[in-house]
Structure 1
Amino acid sequence: MSEADHAAVGAAVTAAEKRTDGEIVTVVAPQSDSYHDVALHWAVLAMLGMLALLAAFPWTAERGWALVDPWATRSPTGGLLAVALVLVTATFLLARLLLAWMPLRLALTPGSTEARRVRRRAVELFRVAAERQTRARTGVMLYLSLAERRAEIIADAAIYARVAPEVWGEAMGGLLTATRDGRPGEGMAAAVERIGAVLAEHFPRTEGDINELSDRLVEL
């Protein structure tokens, strides 16, 4: 996120909060999880796949032993098991090495897993940054996870009681479209504007309202 993006999002929050008692917090993260378990699962699957290949084509282990002892007329059982162990171990380590590259790891992560991890991270941050941080329980957090290209809108108790989750659909849709097009700052600013409109409808600004939470974009 560029300085211009930070400025645009901060300005959008300030403008939106002029019409409502609600407080908007914006957070952007490079990613929501390391997905180490996903990499491990795929590495184990690759290892089991190698075992399956050796079972289906046992002559490959014999060829491997022939490289070790080209003069042998018969491959010993221990030698074949040693070759199998080497191939399985090499497969596991190679898979782990390849999956250290985050784009590949994300590409092999199920969408449902990404959605759960992004949601979990958003809730964790909301509890720290906005939940019960306002007198009227009117905090909303807009969270964007760049690597997954997923976003969440988490609302405090008073807002959750009045605004159904599907109401945020327009803000979420525009944000995700802009993020996929390489315009996350513009998308977040537009989403904040939409969130502000919803808050202004249900929680219009009253006299004496003060700014309780920071307007600036938080980039983790």
Structure 2
Amino acid sequence: MSHLVADLTDEDCEAINRAVQQAESRTEAEIVPVVAAISGRYDRGEDLFGLLMGLLLMIVAWNLLPQSIPEPGSWEVGPAWWEAFLLSIAVIAGFLFGVHLASRFPVLAQLLSSSKDKTEEVMAAAQMAFVQEEIHHTQRRAGVLLYLSMTERIVAVIADKVAYEALGQAAINELCQSLTARLRSDSLTNALTAAVEELGQQLQQVLPNTAVQADELPNAVRVLRNAV
């Protein structure tokens, strides 16, 4: 699913940007959509994948090594020292190769990461994006972040103080659920555009735009191709 980030065309981004502009024209809040290819590095998953590769390479090396046959009259049947050395090298080489492979293809590390780990990584990345995009610095304290992490397939919605108090946690949870459902059945652009429109309608009811005021944040989707 992360490849969808690269598939976002200029037309897709423009459609999302128009939806943001239209939604913000009806409310004093700021809406900031962020699409991230991946949110975490998953070092533990990389190490576990490396360990599995090391054990696999050790098993392969064990089967390729010639078996030691004791001399007639000798009861020594243990492996020779050089066999143990080669097996140790195989484990280390497999571990390093596995870690490198998992770092290049994060989905491999995610296969060995729990749902809790992935959720925590996404929430931490969303909080960082909330700060980096300066959503918490708006004068009205009414910014809302829509954060989509494509590799993890997890959505996070973070609202600043005024917007959070106006919307309430229940509405935020419902928006997360509806956006997640749309992503399962529709394109990224359509799902995000619909979520922006839905959020705009909710904000219009609780934080209507009662005066002409300049945007404090750009009306543009942010695309993050690497972990924040």
TM-score bucket (shorter structure): 0.7 to 0.9
Residue 22 (structure 1) aligned to one of 23, 29, 33: 29
C-alpha distance in 2 between matches for 1:87 and 1:42: 15
Residue 89 (structure 1) aligned to one of 86, 89, 92: 92
Post-superposition Cα deviations, 1:12-46, rounded to whole Å, max 9, x if no partner, equal: 11111121111111111111123233211332366
**How much is the aligned-residue C-alpha RMSD, in angstroms?**
3.0
C-alpha distance in 2 between matches for 1:140 and 1:80: 61
Could you say if the C-alpha distance between residues 76 and 115 of structure 1 is closer, same or farther in structure 2, counting changes exceeding 3 Å?
Answer: closer
Pairing 1:119-130 to 2, within 5 Å after superposition = 119-130=123-134
C-alpha distance in 2 between matches for 1:208 and 1:182: 35
Post-superposition Cα deviations, 1:52-106, rounded to whole Å, max 9, x if no partner, equal: x8xxxxxx9698363xxx6763445634532441342244245335534333223
On the 8 A contact 2:16/2:189 being kept in 1, the answer is yes
Tell me the residue number matched to 2:149. Answer: 145
Q: Give, in angstroms, the shift of residue 148 of structure 1.
A: 1.4
1:189 aligns with 2:199: no
Q: Secondary structure at the match of 2:34?
A: strand
Percent of residue pairs bearing the same amino acid type: 27
Post-superposition Cα deviations, 1:165-217, rounded to whole Å, max 9, x if no partner, equal: 23123332232233334611111111111111221121111123332211111
The number of residues matched between the two structures is: 211
On the 8 A contact 1:130/1:141 being kept in 2, the answer is no
Could you say if the C-alpha distance between residues 76 and 186 of structure 1 is closer, same or farther in structure 2, counting changes exceeding 3 Å?
Answer: closer
C-alpha distance in 2 between matches for 1:130 and 1:196: 20
Residue 38 (structure 1) aligned to one of 31, 37, 45: 45
On the 8 A contact 1:130/1:156 being kept in 2, the answer is no
In structure 1, list runs of 5 or more residues that go unmatched: 54-59
Tell me the residue number matched to 2:160. Answer: 156
C-alpha distance in 2 between matches for 1:97 and 1:130: 34
| Amino acid in the other structure paired with 2:197 | E
Q: Give, in angstroms, the shift of residue 48 of structure 1.
A: 6.8
TM-score, normalised by the number of residues in structure 2: 0.78
Tell me the residue number matched to 1:218. Answer: 222
C-alpha distance in 2 between matches for 1:98 and 1:135: 45
Post-superposition Cα deviations, 1:109-161, rounded to whole Å, max 9, x if no partner, equal: 22211111111111111112143332111111111111112121111111223
On the 8 A contact 1:162/1:202 being kept in 2, the answer is yes
TM-score, normalised by the number of residues in structure 1: 0.80
